Chains A and B, each alone.
Chain A
Amino acid sequence: MTGPGGVRLEGVVKRHGATTVLHGVDLAIEPGEFFVLLGPSGSGKTTTLRILAGLESVSAGRVLMDGADVTLQQPGERDVAMVFQSYALYPHMTVAQNIGFPLKMVRTARHDIERAVSAAAIKVGIGHLLQRTPGQLSGGQQQRCALARAIVRQPRLFLLDEPLSNLDAKLRLETRLELHRLQRSLGVTTVYVTHDQEEAMTLADRIAVFIDGRIVQVGTPREVYARPRTITVAGFIGTPPMNLIPGRWEGDAVIVGDERMPVATAGGPRAVMLGVRPGDLRIAERGLAAVVERIEDLGDSSILSFSAGDRLLKQKSDRLPAVREGETVRLDFAPETAHLFDPQSGGRL
């Protein structure tokens, strides 16, 4: 059962004609949780958010909020607020009118609207812009205005559809922090859609990873990063993504080419996909032979690209390496940092 602000999706299927967009999604979001739906474009995360909002109907399955079935309820009946990617501010209204609109629609008294609008605007830092129209605001201010409109009526659920994607990099970092603080101070259950895994990792209490209309993993950012359940998740989470090297698992090592790379768990013999995070790959005395293709100096860290046979491998290091482009080196990793996947099913072993 879900408590106040709790949300549950049960076997939700969404079809557009012959195309199935969501293949039976099951999800339980806890009250007060900051829950991120993460996935590449077209993975079904925005459709899921729109189903929660009531803007899309389901082809099968149920949507529950606070334990009640809201599957057939209209958007306005669900007591949810949404911040759209484009902000969807009303261009002909002032900031104050935009923020106050949801309250006006439920016939709130005028002085109550004014008080609530002012409080919401101050909370997001646009208290001084109330008389402007959206066209007179910067992108960041528009985003705050959309947030204020969402929080003004204290809904039971916030839905945010890639709200930071239209901001520049610096503003995105600042707003991310503020968004997190705002959510914590309000304590409202929040569902946040993004394709940016860094945003997901930094904001979420838990993440659901969507691939091709299915949830492939749900967990805390740490869990999803440390123990990706499939090759696809492993390849999606992390910058740069995990190195995936085909090999053969024999006992406590994976044989890659002629090299024996020790791993923490014994098993096999069988074909395996060996996964190593770029941060766990080391230049060593022994190990897989590779040629340094490119060194990218990021100032505080560096990313090295290697070619090992027909594979491109990446290493991330917090200092500049003592190697040069074109040099042949050996690569290894600590046995406990290796991830092993079934190359056929893609599942974790």
Chain B
Amino acid sequence: MNGSRPLRRIALALVAGSGLAVWAFPVLWGLLTSFKTERDVLAYPPVLVFTPTLDNYREVIFGASSIVPNLWSSFVVATAATLLTMLLAVPAGYALGRLRYPAKRASGFYVLATQMLPPVGLIIPYYLVLQKVGGLDTYGGLTVIYLTFSLPFAIWLLVSYFEDVPLEMEEAALLDRAGRLRTLWYVILPQVRGGIAVTTIFVFLNAWNEFMFAVVLGGNRVRPVTVAMFNFISVEQTQWARLAAGAMLAMAPVILIGIFAQRHIVKGLTVGAVKGGGRR
């Protein structure tokens, strides 16, 4: 019996290690590539020992193909989409989770149904609409389009968190003369803050990583980093090392958010499993 424990640990470590390796390999490969010259990148067989260079980073930060403006574009669009999404999704999620009103089921299904359409089928209509209203290649236009997928996602994620707050707590607050809005502010929101945090992070990451709408509906003025990276791939050649350096820079905020918000993310994801237990 005693011998099986270390064995289990080793087996667990092996499984976890191989899972991690599968996930980490492209990232590490990209990281290595970002420090190589284009010649080293294309060397065959691949070289593992090489003289590292910061040229690629210098180029994608300060050079002619700098992606800094694109990082800024991504930041503006993702932040605006996240703020607007949360501003609308919190009250909507609360209403769907809690309030009794006519056609509640129908409206809930409608919100969900918008997620059922394949995004690629929406690009042309979106393009035509934005073109009509002058919204192509604008922060406003892209942000509004991002809302169309982030808002239903956020609402449905938040509904489950609101439903987890015991109804009696809300009734107690109403009896304590808090009124609906102050009940939401003082009693409900503090209890779903884990859920709000995790939803905010997911919405931001989705917007940050979005490519398809950005490449079609963006342009020279508003070009998120995902599109800019794509531009390193051209018919003549693919600038792998620069692409890797750009990818590393684009990933940095995502990884930072992941590290800082890890506690919230894990907590937020486990709440649904153990009802009410995770938020206390």
Is B6 close to A, CB under 8 A?
no
A53 to B187, CA, bound (A): 19
Is A55 close to B, CB under 8 A?
yes
A92 to B177, CA, bound (A): 19
Is A316 close to B, CB under 8 A?
no
Number of interface residues of B (CB under 8 A): 19
Interface residues of A in 99-121 (CB under 8 A from B): 101-102, 105-106
A75 to B280, CA, bound (A): 27
Q: Name, among B172, B178, B279, the residue most crowded by chain A CB atoms within 10 Å (CB to CB).
A: B172
Query: Which residues on the B side are within 8 Å of A105 (C-beta)?
Result: 176-179, 182
**Interface stretch (choices A76-84, A240-248, A251-259, A274-282):** A76-84
Query: Which residues on the B side are within 8 Å of A149 (C-beta)?
Result: 172, 176
Q: Are B175 and A53 in contact (CB under 8 A)?
A: yes
Q: Are B168 and A90 in contact (CB under 8 A)?
A: no
Q: Name, among A81, A85, A91, A149, the residue most crowded by chain B CB atoms within 10 Å (CB to CB).
A: A91
Other-chain contact of A76, B176, B186, B191 (Cβ < 8 Å): B176
Q: Name, among B176, B182, B187, B279, the residue most crowded by chain A CB atoms within 10 Å (CB to CB).
A: B176
Other-chain contact of A82, B175, B177, B179 (Cβ < 8 Å): B175
Q: Are A106 and B177 in contact (CB under 8 A)?
A: yes
Is B249 close to A, CB under 8 A?
no
- Minimum Cβ distance to chain B for residue A128 (Å): 22
Query: Which residues on the B side are within 8 Å of A302 (C-beta)?
Result: none
A101 to B279, CA, bound (A): 20
Q: Given the known A-B contacts A88-B166, A90-B169, A91-B191, are A102 and B174 also in contact in the complex, defined by CB atoms under 8 Å?
A: no
Q: Are A75 and B175 in contact (CB under 8 A)?
A: yes
Q: Are B176 and A102 in contact (CB under 8 A)?
A: yes
Q: Name, among B166, B168, B187, B191, the residue most crowded by chain A CB atoms within 10 Å (CB to CB).
A: B168
Is A86 close to B, CB under 8 A?
yes
A101 to B169, CA, bound (A): 12
Interface residues of B in 136-184 (CB under 8 A from A): 166, 168-169, 171-179, 182
A178 to B176, CA, bound (A): 23
Other-chain contact of B175, A76, A86, A89, A135 (Cβ < 8 Å): A76
- Minimum Cβ distance to chain A for residue B195 (Å): 13
Query: Which residues on the A side are within 8 Å of B175 (C-beta)?
Result: 53-55, 75-76, 80-82
A119 to B254, CA, bound (A): 51
Is A74 close to B, CB under 8 A?
yes
A85 to B190, CA, bound (A): 22
Q: Are B177 and A90 in contact (CB under 8 A)?
A: no
Residue of A nearest to B168 (CB): A88
Residue of A nearest to B165 (CB): A91
Query: Which residues on the A side are within 8 Å of B190 (C-beta)?
Result: 90, 92
Residue of A nearest to B190 (CB): A92
A56 to B280, CA, bound (A): 28
- A57-94 contact mask (Cβ, 8 Å, vs B): 1 or 0: 00000000000000000111100111011101111100
A105 to B176, CA, bound (A): 7
Q: Are B177 and A76 in contact (CB under 8 A)?
A: yes
A86 to B172, CA, bound (A): 11
- B120-131 contact mask (Cβ, 8 Å, vs A): 1 or 0: 000000000000
Query: Which residues on the B side are within 8 Å of A55 (C-beta)?
Result: 171, 174-175
A44 to B222, CA, bound (A): 62
Query: Which residues on the B side are within 8 Å of A53 (C-beta)?
Result: 171, 175
Residue of B nearest to A53 (CB): B175
Residue of A nearest to B170 (CB): A88
Query: Which residues on the A side are within 8 Å of B187 (C-beta)?
Result: 90
A74 to B186, CA, bound (A): 19
Query: Which residues on the A side are within 8 Å of B173 (C-beta)?
Result: 90, 101
Q: Are A86 and B168 in contact (CB under 8 A)?
A: yes
Residue of A nearest to B174 (CB): A75
- Minimum Cβ distance to chain A for residue B62 (Å): 47
Query: Which residues on the B side are within 8 Å of A76 (C-beta)?
Result: 174-179
Q: Are A82 and B280 in contact (CB under 8 A)?
A: no
- A132-160 contact mask (Cβ, 8 Å, vs B): 1 or 0: 00010000000000000100000000000
Q: Given the known A-B contacts A84-B171, A84-B172, are A91 and B177 also in contact in the complex, defined by CB atoms under 8 Å?
A: no
Residue of B nearest to A84 (CB): B168
A239 to B119, CA, bound (A): 67
Q: Are B279 and A91 in contact (CB under 8 A)?
A: yes
Residue of B nearest to A82 (CB): B175
A89 to B171, CA, bound (A): 11
Query: Which residues on the A side are within 8 Å of B191 (C-beta)?
Result: 90-92
Query: Which residues on the B side are within 8 Å of A84 (C-beta)?
Result: 168, 171-172
A86 to B170, CA, bound (A): 12
A333 to B132, CA, bound (A): 95
- Minimum Cβ distance to chain A for residue B117 (Å): 35
Q: Are A91 and B280 in contact (CB under 8 A)?
A: yes
Query: Which residues on the B side are within 8 Å of A77 (C-beta)?
Result: 177
A55 to B176, CA, bound (A): 12
The 3 closest A-B pairs by CB, nearest first: A76-B177, A88-B172, A102-B176
Given contacts A75-B174, A88-B169, A105-B182, 13 further A-B contacts (CB under 8 A): A53-B175, A76-B174, A76-B178, A76-B179, A81-B176, A82-B171, A86-B168, A88-B168, A88-B171, A101-B173, A102-B177, A106-B177, A149-B172
Write 27 A-B pairs (CB below 8 A) sorted by A numbering: A74-B174, A75-B174, A76-B179, A80-B175, A81-B175, A82-B172, A84-B171, A84-B172, A86-B166, A88-B168, A88-B169, A90-B169, A90-B172, A90-B173, A90-B187, A90-B190, A91-B279, A92-B191, A101-B176, A102-B176, A102-B177, A105-B177, A105-B178, A105-B179, A106-B177, A135-B280, A149-B172
Residues on B lying within 8 angstroms of A by beta carbon are 166, 168-169, 171-179, 182, 186-187, 190-191, 279-280
